[in-house]
Amino acid sequence: MGQNNLDYIQLCQLDDIGESDSKGFTVTIKGKQENIFVVRKKAQIYAYKNSCPHTQAPLDWRPDEFLDEDKKTIICALHGATFSIEDGRCLQGPCNGRGLQSVTVKVSEETIYLKII
């Protein structure tokens, strides 16, 4: 990967997430469990903590289901707030200008890695 492998956790293979699809993960970072999710859109990968900024509830309405029916926005299962896939900003709902917390990922040799430092 060109950087210290200790800085990254392997999440999955790129092909494990279809185009315009999403996948959730629970990872342990510095002894603490974190829930994150990854969205693949137009050959880009976006990743966020799986926590609504309004209630801190998980966003997915079923395992690995973070997108609306049209797969154009991220949607909160609890109250229907929608968020931009590209930057996590709240588009509609009771989030009062707050957005999703992004996490850093990279793709190397068809594998998605989460940066932990």
The pLDDT of residue 40 is above 60: yes
Q: What is the DSSP string of 16-58?
A: GS-TTEEEEEEEEETTEEEEEEEEEETTEEEEEES--TTT---
pLDDT, one tens digit per residue, over 64-73 is 999 999 999 9
Please report the domains of the chain, with CATH numbers, ordered by start residue.
5-115 (2.102.10.10)
Share of the chain above pLDDT 90, in %: 73
In this prediction the pTM is 0.90
pLDDT, one tens digit per residue, over 71-98 is 999 999 888 899 999 999 999 988 878 8
Answer whether 22's CB lies under 8 Å from 65's CB: yes
What's residue 2's pLDDT? 45
